[in-house]
Chain A
Amino acid sequence: MKRFKQILAATLIVSTTHVAFVQTAQATMIGTEQVAQGAASRSGQDARNHLNDMFSRADVQARLENLGVNAADARDRVAALTDEDAARLSEQIDKAPAGGFIEVIIFIFLVLLLTDILGFTKVFPFTRSIR
């Protein structure tokens, strides 16, 4: 069900952003990002890249919402990404490091305390490493 919702959301986003796509295709300024990518693309490949890009953006937006970001924020966050970042995020959003000082599970508490004291880690503010 969750997966179905994701796909539905992705489809809707792609179909609504399609309007913008048609408009940009008429304005023929060539963007900096395209120049930077070295543009190894004939027109067919270009269109395919564009489609991939739209799908990865829609996917990231749907998953941001699943992870608790509200819809308006998710849309703005996706819009701020480069094509490359959108593609990377679509692949890694569930497993990339998320810096946040995650709670330490009890069973590794002692290990980390010891390694803290040895100066290999620094989980606890109160430890001073021996050196």
Chain B
Amino acid sequence: MVFLPQRRQLMFAGGAATVLALAGCAAQTALIRDTPPAGLPRRVELSATPYYPQDDYQCGPAALAMALGPAGFAVRPETLAGQVFLPGRHGSLQIEMLSGARRTGALAVEVPGTLEALMRETAAGHPVVVLLNLGLAWAPTWHYAVVIGYDLDEAAFLLRSGPMERQVLPFRTFELTWVRAGAWAFVALPAGQLAASADEAATTRALVAFEKAAPPGKAAPAYRAALARWPDSLTLAMGLGNSLYAAGDRPGAEAAFREAARHHASAAAWNNLAVILLEAGRIDAARAAARRAIELGGPTIDAARDTLKRIDAAR
């Protein structure tokens, strides 16, 4: 056993890590117990959330199916396994959990890593998928579960988790196991709804990824809802135009790009407007739009020059 000294070292390091882990405290729990977040009910339980007990290692597909149910997507875990389960890793990766939800047609948005955010989402009717490290930092046991509510009087979260249809997990234990996994969580929403706790950056990131993965026609209503909340975002305005264009709604896309071009003086918006006008055979208007895109310069200037070339070739 040549490896023995190394292994001892490892076990020693592990022991030290345990001591450190045990010294950790649940800071948010104390805060929430002392001063509960304003405007939240004492108790929330989304009891209509479906329950799928997990098969071997399949907590990823099971958790995703449970979260998708209330968003209006009745999918079975077995269907999702081919999209999110990774046999060689005996589990599911976070990135693929998000893209799996998006492929089904749900807008998957990462929410802030605070207990309050989880409470606000469940109070808004959104079950939250969380990654927990049920073990220790040096001997991790990664596990996906779904938060379906909380009880401030009992100081506990309510979860659908693995073999447990209704787990009552004290705030403190939840916080320790959740923070140990990076305090990562997301909600899966029907297109057109927004997360209760996510900011503009997180929502925009979610939408751009959604546009890429979602079935055609789903992204436009989702962008519209976000634009109503953050009307000054160029990315959201471009996303609306692009997703309408992809869904075959040329007049809608034209209007969206005109609005984006006007509001933001954006070269990208002028360029895309020019492409649509060219396709509609309105050559003069297309040329004017392309020239505007070139005047504005910026990183998209090569694309704009190319568009103008095609317009000149089209007469």
Q: A residues near B, CB below 8 A?
A: 27-36, 39-43, 46, 64, 66-70, 73, 76-77, 80-82, 85, 88-89, 92-94, 96-102, 104-105, 108, 111-112, 115, 118-123, 125, 129, 131
Cα distance A115–B173 in the bound complex, in angstroms: 10
A to B contact number (C-beta, < 8 Å): 201
Cα distance A73–B182 in the bound complex, in angstroms: 28
Closest partner residue, chain A, to B177 (CB atom) = A122
Q: Which 8 A-B pairs have the closest CB atoms?
A: A100-B91, A67-B88, A98-B91, A68-B87, A100-B57, A39-B299, A80-B213, A98-B89
A80 touches B268 (CB 8 A): no
Cα distance A31–B272 in the bound complex, in angstroms: 9
Cα distance A119–B304 in the bound complex, in angstroms: 60
Additional 7 contacts, C-beta under 8 A, given A32-B239, A85-B95, A99-B142: A27-B275, A33-B212, A36-B208, A46-B302, A81-B213, A121-B173, A122-B132
Answer whether A121 and B142 are a contact pair too, CB < 8 Å, given A33-B208, A85-B209, A89-B95. Answer: no
- Min Cβ gap A48→B in Å is 14
Answer whether A111 and B136 are a contact pair too, CB < 8 Å, given A28-B306, A96-B93, A97-B142. Answer: yes
With beta carbons under 8 angstroms apart, the residue of A36, A92, A101, A123 that contacts B204 is A36
Cα distance A33–B236 in the bound complex, in angstroms: 10
Q: Does B296 contact A (CB under 8 A)?
A: no
Cα distance A28–B274 in the bound complex, in angstroms: 10
A-B contact pairs, 20 of them (CB 8 A): A28-B303, A30-B272, A31-B242, A32-B239, A32-B243, A34-B268, A36-B204, A67-B88, A69-B87, A80-B212, A82-B208, A85-B95, A99-B91, A99-B142, A105-B139, A111-B18, A112-B139, A120-B136, A121-B173, A122-B169
Residues of chain A contacted by B172 (CB below 8 angstroms): 119, 131
B87 touches A123 (CB 8 A): no
Interface bracket on B:
35 or more
Q: Does B315 contact A (CB under 8 A)?
A: no
Of B70-78, B96-104, B191-199, which binds chain A? Answer: B96-104
Residues of chain A contacted by B238 (CB below 8 angstroms): 30, 32, 35
Residues of chain B contacted by A97 (CB below 8 angstroms): 91, 93-94, 131, 133, 140, 142, 181-182
Find the residue from B93, B204, B298 having the highest chain A CB count within 10 A.
B93
